[in-house]
Amino acid sequence: MRQEIQLFQQVGEAACKICTEAMNFIKFSGEMVGAFADAIRHPRRIHISNTLYYMDISGSDAVPIISLLGMLIGVILAFQALVQLGRYGVENYVVNLVGTVIVTELGPLMTAVVLAGRSGSAFAAEIGTMKASEEIDALVTMGMVPSRVLIVPKVLAMLVVMPCLTVLANIFGIIGGMLIVCSFLDFTIAEYYFKVVEVVKPIDLTQGIVKSFFFALIVAAIGCMKGLEADRDAQGVGHAATSAVVTAIFLIIIADAILTSLFSI
């Protein structure tokens, strides 16, 4: 009986925590929308230098890992598809599977997860450290709006960087598939290329790019929100960075499922 009570208590605490997180996210979303509305009305107030800085650390620094992971995923997907489809004698459809799955699903999803681990945690740690050292309070004292200074450049940078890295991941994923297909099947590089062009439709590319924009909003918004919610100590900063990664990946999976179902209608 006591164990059942503890179980119900844990479920209730988890439900309350989820509701609190949802309310905090809605509140933060309102603040972010207000900051962007102000940025649209006064474009000169946007900190371009900060935006370019975050584009650099979130984009160019992530190119090697995104390229490597994209190629490895393409190799693994093509090899597994070759083994499974080979049982039914339809190995030629490996190209169809690799092209569509990478462009529509694995490319955007893998890129978003990597940036959630790299940039989302970095955003949370940076803002959490500023909160702990009372730099955010100093911004308020100087009459500056923290959301405009801290949130808008990060979100803008992520909105630009994520689609570009997604395209890069798609390219290297398809190249990774080409290495397997051309090695184990009677395909030349030219045949593989034209087959991919034939299989991957514009709607597939559009689906992947649209997903990347939503994923970018999630990664940047969650990273900033967790940083602003961090406790004013070192442990709070570490917890905020960890929570930003976990929450962002969870929401990315949910958003991916919803967007995939919408595109399938």
Query: Is 205 contained in some domain?
Result: yes
Q: Residue 82 in contact with residue 91, Cβ under 8 Å?
A: yes
Round to whole Å and give the CA distance between 236 and 125.
9
Query: Is 80 contained in some domain?
Result: yes
Q: Residue 174 in contact with residue 195, Cβ under 8 Å?
A: no
Query: Is 35 contained in some domain?
Result: no
- Look at the chain and report how many structural domains it folds into: 1
Q: pLDDT digits over 217-255, tens only? A: 999 989 888 888 888 888 888 888 998 999 899 889 999
pTM attached to this predicted model = 0.88
Query: Is 120 contained in some domain?
Result: yes
pLDDT at 141 over 90: no
- pLDDT for position 3: 64
Query: Is 223 contained in some domain?
Result: yes
22, with CB counted inside 10 A (0-12, 13-18, 19+), is: exposed
Round to whole Å and give the CA distance between 132 and 223.
16
Query: Is 3 contained in some domain?
Result: no
Which pLDDT band holds residue 1 (cuts at 50, 70, 90)?
low
Element spanning 246, H or E: helix 234-264
Residue ranges making up the domain that contains 128: 47-264
Round to whole Å and give the CA distance between 2 and 246.
31
Q: Which whole number is the average pLDDT over 136-144?
A: 77
Query: Is 39 contained in some domain?
Result: no
Which pLDDT band holds residue 14 (cuts at 50, 70, 90)?
confident
Query: Is 84 contained in some domain?
Result: yes
Q: pLDDT digits over 159-206, tens only? A: 999 999 999 999 999 999 999 988 888 888 888 899 898 998 888 899
